[in-house]
Amino acid sequence: MKEQVQSLGAVFLEMAIEEHAETAGGYAKELSEETHRKELAFLAEAAKDADIVISTAAIPGKKAPILITAAAVQGMKPGSVIVDLAAETGGNCELTQPGSEIVRNGVSILGPLNLASTVPLHASQMYAKNMAAFLGHIVQDGKLRLDFEDQIIRDTCVTHAGEVRKS
Q: Which DSSP string do the residues of 99-121 spell out, in sequence order?
A: T-EEEETTEEEE--SSGGGGSHH
Closest CA to 112 of 100, 94, 124: 100
Whole-number Cα distances in Å, 125 to 112, 121, 129, 130, 132: 21, 6, 6, 9, 10
CA angle 115, 4, 57 (to 5 degrees): 50
Q: Is the pLDDT of residue 69 over 60?
A: yes
Closest CA to 75 of 37, 36, 46, 39: 46
Distance from the first to the final alpha carbon of the chain? 28
pLDDT in tens, 19-56: 555 555 556 656 788 888 898 999 999 999 999 999 99
Is this structure's pTM higher than 0.75? no
Region 93-105: mean pLDDT is 97
Q: Are strands 139-140 and 107-110 parallel, antiparallel or unpaired?
A: unpaired
Distance CA 98, CA 112 (A): 6
The pairs formed by 145-154 with CB atoms below 8 angstroms and a separation of 24 or more are 151/26
Q: How confident is the model at residue 1 (pLDDT cuts 50, 70, 90)?
A: confident
Length of the chain: 167
Whole-number Cα distances in Å, 2 to 90, 108, 121: 24, 24, 25
Mean pLDDT of the chain: 88
Chain centroid offset of residue 87 CA: 11
Cβ neighbour number for residue 139 with a 10 Å cutoff: 11
